[in-house]
């Protein structure tokens, strides 16, 4: 009898231990899943802040570097602070997620408001501050989860390794989700709210899973539901409100707004003036764009002995193609633009097709959507005229299109006696940048001549004309119909005032040595940012 009682009691103890062990395993798995999912959210917020900084503040490499550095610094601070969290680990984790949800969820929404309504510089301060704070909160998460996993019976070595594995694996997934799903499908504002909701849902799940350990469970549950409701409202209405903030960044009403895989495309229009902005940078105004495009196109066409094959790098709006259509002798026009959505808008948007006169419908036009640098490396064609109609070198991706290596590729694709025309930013506002571009072109064994034209919407704007032989503008003849450019005007565009010529001096009157911009030493970005900081 005693033996049976002993056996039964022993079996009960064993079954009880198995139940406890099974329960602890389930709890530990919940912790690992939670760590993986919040890590996905963390990496999304990290790159989201970099993308927002790149869009609003420019220089993508700089903004990503600063935001990632600040986020990691914040995580380090948070990990250090987490040592003081020794009690109520589950509640601590829950409220950290609630806090991340509210702060990170409203981050880009508030950032657009700060940019629209507060003074210059406050947007950068806010972005860097919120990055540091959210990074700090993220840094507290993992140590708490590791400690909790250890508390329920998992060894420190196993709990640390498993939570860190979930964290690192989640980081990879988060990066891929941001690039291929969230940014292109939801944009910056809605993405922040959606990911914040995930944080709060995980907090609620962990709260419910461990509710037996929490005396005031209902109070924290209600708080989480309220926060979740606020974030859902953010998803539904936040982007519309942020659009109103963004509207304040532009002089005229926005009539088209799209976030492509590469950039933000915005069209504005007021009293007939159509304007295109890419990532906040003005590309043209319909009131005066003809001044820019006539100089860009007709100058090299007038100085090239042949006009059969023309290459246009950039120019996805179709306005350069419109000017090229005036030449019957042109047999082919190859347009290379990275963003397929820009060329599609140029082909289909009524406002743009009216302005470019349906240039993309010309049978001579071939559109290639790829990176201009990579295109030149692979293409074997020689061209009579090459037009470089690319955005200014305000980030690393664009800077490579203003390097010695790029201009050497241009030279190798240019027929003898052909011409290259390069838009080269403003010699008035960015004098050192302009003449550095000119020096870099010359370093590619090309002869150059320099032109600048007044464009009311832009200001004074510069171009570099390049050839394999000495440039002879004196004999250039503008043979097609134009609104602005004449032979006499063209000669006048080559004259530069003393304050913007290539003899550049510093504040002390010392001559400034110009650098050749290369892939290895991209000196142009810093000069560009410094030059345009005051404008």
Show the DSSP H helices in 152-216 as ranges: 156-177, 183-209
Pairing type for strands 365-368 and 332-336 reads parallel
CA-nearest of 493, 533, 268, 272 to 394 is 533
Q: From CA 61, how far away is CA 142, in angstroms rounded?
A: 28
- Does residue 317 have a known ligand-binding role? yes
Contact 390, 398 (CB under 8 A): yes
CA-nearest of 404, 500, 495 to 450 is 495
197 to each of 163, 188, 237, how far by Cα in Å? 22, 15, 15
- Does residue 293 have a known ligand-binding role? yes
517 to each of 162, 314, 404, how far by Cα in Å? 47, 20, 6
Q: What is the 3-state secondary structure (H, E, C) of 442-497?
A: HHCCCEEEEEEEEECCCEEEEEEEEECCCCCCCCCCCCCCCCCCCHHHHHHCCCCC
Sheet holding 309-314, edge to edge: 365-368, 332-336, 309-314, 383-389, 414-423, 459-467, 447-455
Active site residue 261: no
In the chain, the largest separation of any two C-alpha atoms, in whole Å, equals 121
Q: From CA 247, how far away is CA 243, in angstroms rounded?
A: 6
CA-nearest of 268, 274, 273, 240 to 254 is 268
Distance of CA 425 to the CA centre of its chain: 20
- Does residue 263 have a known ligand-binding role? yes
Q: Give the residues across from 417 on adjacent strands.
A: none
- Does residue 371 have a known ligand-binding role? yes
Tokens of 129: 């501050």
CA-nearest of 424, 495, 500 to 461 is 424
Annotated catalytic residue: which of 123, 389, 392, 438?
389
Sheet holding 273-278, edge to edge: 254-259, 264-270, 273-278, 281-285
Pairing type for strands 309-314 and 332-336 reads parallel
Residues identified as active-site: 389
Instruction: Output the known binding site for spermidine.
Output: 293, 317
Q: Residues marked as binding?
A: 263, 293, 317, 337, 371-372
């Amino acid at each position: 009898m005693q033996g049976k009682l002993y056996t039964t009691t022993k079996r009960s103890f064993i079954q009880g231990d198995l139940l406890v062990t099974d329960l602890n395993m389930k709890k530990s798995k919940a912790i690992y899943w939670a760590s993986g999912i919040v890590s996905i959210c963390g990496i999304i917020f990290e790159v989201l802040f970099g993308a927002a900084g790149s869009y609003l503040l420019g220089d993508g490499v700089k903004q990503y570097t600063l935001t990632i550095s600040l986020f990691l610094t914040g995580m380090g601070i948070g990990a250090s602070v987490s040592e003081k969290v020794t009690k109520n680990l589950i509640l601590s984790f829950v409220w950290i997620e609630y806090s991340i949800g509210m702060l990170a969820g409203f981050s880009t929404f508030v950032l657009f408001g700060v940019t629209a309504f507060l003074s210059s510089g406050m947007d950068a301060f806010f972005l860097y501050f919120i990055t540091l704070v959210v990074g700090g909160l993220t840094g507290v998460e993992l140590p708490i989860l590791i400690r909790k996993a250890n508390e329920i019976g998992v060894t420190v070595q196993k709990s640390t390794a498993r939570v860190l594995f979930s964290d690192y694996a989640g980081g990879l997934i988060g990066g891929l989700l941001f690039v291929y799903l969230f940014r292109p499908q939801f944009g910056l504002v809605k993405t922040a709210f959606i990911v914040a909701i995930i944080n709060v849902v995980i907090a609620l799940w962990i709260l419910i899973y461990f509710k037996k350990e929490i005396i005031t469970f209902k109070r924290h549950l209600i708080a989480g539901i309220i926060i979740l409701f606020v974030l859902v409202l953010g998803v539904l209405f936040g982007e519309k409100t942020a659009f109103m903030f963004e509207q304040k960044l532009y002089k005229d009403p926005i009539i088209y707004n799209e976030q492509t895989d590469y950039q933000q495309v915005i069209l504005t229009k007021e009293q007939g003036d159509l304007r295109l902005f890419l990532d906040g940078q003005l590309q043209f105004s319909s009131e005066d764009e003809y001044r820019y495009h006539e100089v860009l196109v007709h100058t090299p066409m007038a100085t090239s002995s042949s006009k059969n094959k023309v290459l246009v790098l950039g120019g996805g709006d179709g306005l350069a193609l419109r000017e090229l259509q005036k030449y019957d002798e042109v047999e082919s026009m190859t347009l290379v633009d990275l963003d397929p959505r820009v060329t599609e808008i140029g082909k289909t948007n009524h406002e743009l097709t009216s302005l470019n006169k349906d240039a993309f419908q010309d049978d001579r036009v071939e559109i290639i959507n790829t990176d201009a640098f990579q295109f030149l490396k692979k293409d074997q064609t020689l061209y009579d005229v090459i037009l470089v109609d690319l955005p200014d070198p305000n980030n690393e991706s664009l800077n490579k299109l203003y390097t010695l290596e790029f201009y050497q590729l241009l030279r190798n694709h240019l027929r003898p006696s052909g011409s290259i025309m390069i838009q080269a930013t403003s010699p008035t506002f960015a004098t050192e940048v302009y003449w550095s571009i000119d020096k870099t072109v010359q370093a590619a064994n090309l002869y150059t001549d320099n032109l600048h034209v007044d464009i009311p919407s832009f200001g004074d704007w510069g171009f570099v004309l390049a050839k394999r032989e000495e440039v002879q503008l004196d004999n250039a003849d503008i043979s097609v119909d134009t609104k602005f450019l004449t032979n006499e005007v063209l000669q006048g565009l080559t004259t530069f005032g003393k304050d913007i010529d290539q003899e550049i001096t510093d504040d002390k009157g010392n001559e400034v040595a110009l650098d050749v911009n290369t892939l290895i030493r991209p000196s142009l970005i810093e000069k560009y940012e410094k030059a345009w900081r005051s404008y």
